[in-house]
Amino acid sequence: MKKMGQFGLIAGFAWGAVACGPSARMVAPSDLAGQSQVLEVADRSSATGVLANESFKLGSYEITEVDRDWNSSSSFGAGAYGAGKKTTGYTFQLKAGGTTWKGTCASLAKGKSVGSISFANSTDVTCECEADGEKVQLKIGGETEATSGTFEAAGKKYSVQGVDETDKSYFGAKPVGYRIDDGDTPYAAVETMRPGRVWLHKDISEPEAARTTCALAGMMLYIPPSDD
C-alpha cells in the first residue's frame, strides 16, 4: 500500500494525539458555541488499528464496528476513489436509537515534487454515511485545500472549513478540527484531536443530527498512513 510520509502528516492534518499536549483542546467556533449542543466522548481507548476495539460513545450515540482491515486491492470504496487510488480506508457504524448509520471513509494522498524528491503534502478524505436509503458525504480536500471541503445531505451542500484555535499553547499541525456552515449560519463542528467532540446547532433536528454526527465521527477516526 502506498504510504504517506511524515511531511504529509505535518502539512496536512492534526489528527489524534499527534504533536498535541494532552490538555490542549479545540475551541468551539464563537458563533456556534453559544447556540449548540455538545456531544462529548466517553469510553474511547487510545488504541487504534486492525486489532483494537475502537468503539466509543459520542453524546447519546454509539460508534461501533470500526474496521480498518483494508488494503489497496480491496473493493471498498467511498466517493470517487477507486481501489487503486486510495491510501487508507475504514468502516464503522453509528447507532442512533433504532437506526444504524453505516460509515465508510477513504483517503488519497496528493504529492508535489521538489527536484527529484516527491512529498505527499496533503490528503483528500471522504466519509459517507448511509441509513434507510439516505446517504450523506463529507469531503475534505479534492478541488480545495486540505483545510476546507463540503458536506452534502438531503440534496443540500454545506461548506466545511478548518479550525485552528486551541485553548492552550499548541505547536502541532493544524487544523485541529472542522466547522460546517449553512451559508452564513453555523451548523456543526468537530474536534479531530483526541478525545474529540462534536458541536451541533441547537435547531438541528434529530435525523439531521444523527447523519451529521456520523460523518463527523468518520473524521474523528481518521489516522494518516505511516511509513511503517
Model pLDDT, residue 51: 78
CA distance 224 to 69: 15
Instruction: Give the model confidence (pLDDT) of 178-187 as tens digits.
Output: 999 999 999 9
Strand ranges, E, within 56-204? 56-58, 61-67, 88-96, 99-114, 117-131, 134-140, 148-153, 156-163, 177-182, 185-191, 197-201
Planar angle of CA 63, 69, 72, nearest 5 degrees = 125
Torsion angle defined by CA atoms of residues 79, 218, 188 and 122, in that order, rounded to the nearest 10 degrees:
-70
Host domain of residue 158:
6-221
Q: Which residues pair with 177 in a beta bridge?
A: 163, 191
Number of H helices, E strands in the chain: 3, 12
Model pLDDT, residue 52: 85
CA distance 162 to 154: 23
Burial call 172-195: b when 16+ CB within 10 Å, e when fewer: bbbbbbbbbbeeeebbbbbbbbbb
Q: Which residues pair with 180 in a beta bridge?
A: 160, 188
Mean pLDDT by 10 residues, the chain (228 residues): 36 42 84 96 88 93 91 52 64 96 86 41 83 96 75 97 94 90 97 95 96 98 69
77 domain-assigned: yes
Total domain count, the chain: 1
39 domain-assigned: yes
96 domain-assigned: yes
Q: Mean of the per-residue pLDDT values for the chain?
A: 81
Planar angle of CA 25, 39, 152, nearest 5 degrees = 100
CA distance 30 to 181: 13
CA distance 73 to 143: 25
226 domain-assigned: no
180 domain-assigned: yes
Write out the three cell numbers for 169.
499553547
Model pLDDT, residue 108: 76
227 domain-assigned: no
Model pLDDT, residue 226: 58
1 domain-assigned: no
* pTM for the structure as a whole: 0.81
228 domain-assigned: no
